[in-house]
């Protein structure tokens, strides 16, 4: 083989090698760029989710405090409602309140059946409370302008 042929072959190999480097680099680079763009999109989505979770965490304390306050109010209200066993006592108390305001009772007839019934859950214990409303037909006279 002549020196010139060796030179041409060496030059061809060198040009092929140098031409394959950018092809290899750009094919590798495009793959990396695609992976980077998909990872960047996922990262942005995770940042949005993180901000949303942070917002929810910040409001969780407020919601918890509101719930506890409402639950306390509910429990206080439940304590004020007389039990079904105390129905007669509640009716007697109602009569006493009417008479204490100088009203005269002409008719006082409590109904036997409930006009409204609600079943509520207590969050802390998981127990159920039944609240019944009873109607009382009353005819009163007196000085209402006191």
Q: Give me 4's structure tokens.
A: 């010139």
Q: Are residues 110 and 75 in the same domain?
A: no
Q: How many structural domains does the chain have?
A: 2
Kindly state whether residues 88 and 60 are assigned to the same domain.
no
What pTM did the predictor assign? Answer: 0.41
The tally of CA atoms less than 13 A away on the side-chain side of residue 59 is 6
pLDDT given for residue 127 in this prediction: 80
pLDDT by position in tens, the chain (length 146): 788 888 889 899 999 998 988 888 888 888 888 889 999 999 999 999 999 999 999 899 898 899 889 888 888 887 777 676 677 777 788 888 888 887 888 888 887 777 888 888 877 777 888 888 888 888 888 876 55
Domain that residue 3 falls in? 1-80
Say whether both 52 and 24 belong to one domain.
Answer: yes
Of 108, 84, 106, 83, whose CA–CA distance to 94 is shortest? Answer: 108
* pLDDT of amino acid 22: 87
Domain boundary among 31, 60, 80: 80
Local structure of 140: helix, strand or coil: strand
């Amino acid at each position: 083989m002549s020196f010139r042929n060796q030179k041409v072959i060496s030059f061809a190999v060198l040009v092929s090698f140098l031409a394959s480097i950018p092809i290899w680099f750009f094919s590798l680079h495009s793959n990396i760029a695609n992976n980077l763009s998909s990872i960047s999109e996922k990262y942005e989505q995770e940042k949005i989710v993180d901000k949303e979770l942070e917002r929810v965490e910040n409001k969780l304390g407020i919601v918890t405090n509101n719930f506890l306050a409402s639950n306390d109010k509910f429990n206080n209200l439940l304590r004020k409602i007389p039990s079904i066993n105390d129905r007669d006592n509640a009716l007697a108390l109602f009569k006493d309140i009417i008479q204490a305001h100088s009203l005269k009772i002409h008719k006082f007839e409590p109904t036997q059946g409930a006009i409204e019934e609600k079943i509520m859950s207590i969050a802390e214990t998981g127990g159920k409370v039944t609240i019944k409303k009873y109607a009382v037909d009353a005819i009163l006279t007196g000085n209402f302008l006191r």
